[in-house]
Chain A
Amino acid sequence: MRLKFSLITRREFLNTLFGGWLIAFLSGSFYALLKFAYPTLGKEPDFVVLNAKDFTDIPANSVKPFPWGGKLGFIFKRPDNKTVALKGVCTHMECNIAYKPEDKKFYCPCHKGWFDMDGKVIEGPPPKPLEFFELTQEGEKLIVAKKGIKVELPKA
């Protein structure tokens, strides 16, 4: 059956569209407002500064933890003696991961996720690879920074 008339008037259609769009727009703006008004919890730092001495004698094929904000970070000396830094948190449900030297893999015990040395997911539920940081040394200071961040150390 073909209807000869539209069941909704042009005005009703426009009103619904207008109302819906307005609600979407306002709730988007309100979300931003709430995000600022709500206390900022556990925001990750852009970079942390460590004492370089503490991290010089890590044996190859092992990790040493450091605090990345309130979370776990690893300084990782790879089997080929290259030193890198990464976030020691699983990308799946944010459990802390551990390094398994015998397998040369990172392991998340919560849901049995496995990552290889470059942080790629090999097995299990994690959706994204591990996050690696940029590592630079300035004299006594070892600076671990998010990729692409311009580090500005406070003077004095």
Chain B
Amino acid sequence: MSCQRLKKWFDERYDFEGIRSFTKHKLIPVHKYGILYYTGGLTMFLFALQFITGMVLSFYYVPYHEQAHKSIIEIVTKLNMGWLFRSLHHWGAQLAIGVLFIHVFGTLLLKAYRKPRELIWITGFILLAISIFFGLSGYFLLWDERAFAAVRVATGGAGNLPVIGGFIKSFLRGGLDVTGETLIRFYGFHVSVLPFFTLLLIGIHVLLVQYHGMSIPLSQKDNVKKYEPFFPNVLYKDFILWLIALGVVVTLSVFLPPEIGKKADPLAAPPENIKPEWYFLFLFQTLKLFPGDIMGLNGEMIAIILISLGILFFFLIPFLDRKSARDEKSTAFTWIGIIYTVYFVVMTIIGFIT
């Protein structure tokens, strides 16, 4: 058998026994919140799908402001299966971000960030930021009215940060205003900078998870029914979930292909009732809460500073939550987690309805 010989060839050169025994010994605890262990793998699968559909879309997309919009119309109307792959990339992104948020809030609420897993939280946090920037840069590539307005608002918002704001704004825009230069820049981010760091960080994130093993929520420490081997039991369950997710993405893509908006016009006013993508709605809605002028200060700047502080606090939670680091019950941070989650959900829904 050539297969046996190939196996021998590798066995003589590499220590597969170590890997094999490692996979055999990786155990997944079974308890009430066990389903949340699957959200990470699902996010990774959806990201892989994005990489694949994105690669083929890049064969046809033209990142130049005069042709970008036209090239998308051409992909959708003229190419074999073009409408499907654009749709897949769109729905894949929506679902990936959705599952990612479930993963993040699940981790937050079950305190899976606690010692010794702080670095997993940090890599995850950076991945979340990258994913959101992926979304923003991705939909700017459509070069339609909505994307144009959204990027103006988002980069302008970053510009309100004290001291470094102006620098960040010009860096992102590639100039003083959002122009064709911004499109090329965002294309670069979207297809080379962000994917590289995503791969790197996912690698670290997953390796660290292997190193530490799965975190068991404090409340479930004594309620673990049994341990399931990761390979093959949990991996097969992962496969089932991935297949369902793939089916959902394809079905949504067939029945609800995204429309193509009007080509962006830098001089025209943005259309009425413009809204960003749903994962920006909570920020969008927060900005709306602040009046333009608070006691003589720029309201928007205060809003941006408060949002940044909120995000910074979120980032530092594993280091601030001293109690759960000692494996003690930490009610305060349970409430903080709930507040973050509820705030996100409620603001998204409000942004949606209004």
Contacts and interface: CB of A to CB of B under 8 A. Distances in A.
Interface of A: 32-33, 35-38, 40, 43
Contact of A43 (B52, B56, B78): B78
Nearest to A32: B81
Interface string B64-100: 0000000000000011111011000000000000000
A110 to B, nearest CB: 27
B78 A36 contact: no
A94 B216 CA distance: 66
Contacts of B84: 32, 36
Nearest to A29: B246
Interface of B is mostly: helix
Nearest to A41: B80
B211 interface: no
Contact of B52 (A33, A35, A38, A40): A33
Chain B interface residue bracket vs A? 10 to 19
Given A32-B81, A33-B56, 8 more contacts: A32-B84, A33-B85, A35-B80, A36-B56, A36-B85, A37-B56, A40-B80, A43-B79
Interface of A is mostly: helix
B59 interface: yes
Contacts of B81: 32, 35-36
22 contacts: A32-B81, A32-B84, A33-B52, A33-B56, A33-B85, A35-B80, A35-B81, A36-B56, A36-B79, A36-B80, A36-B81, A36-B82, A36-B84, A37-B59, A38-B80, A40-B78, A40-B79, A40-B80, A40-B82, A43-B78, A43-B79, A43-B80
A43 B81 CA distance: 12
A99 B108 CA distance: 75
Contacts of A40: 78-80, 82
Contacts of B56: 33, 36-37
Contacts of A33: 52, 56, 85
A37 B58 CA distance: 10
Contacts of B85: 33, 36
A35 B81 CA distance: 7
Contacts of B52: 33
A78 B85 CA distance: 43
Nearest to A30: B52
A50 to B, nearest CB: 20
A111 B42 CA distance: 55
A38 B79 CA distance: 10
A33 B85 CA distance: 8
Nearest to B56: A37
A39 to B, nearest CB: 8
B47 to A, nearest CB: 17
Nearest to A38: B80
Nearest to B239: A22
Nearest to A25: B243
A32 B250 CA distance: 12
B59 to A, nearest CB: 6
A54 B342 CA distance: 68
Contacts of A32: 81, 84
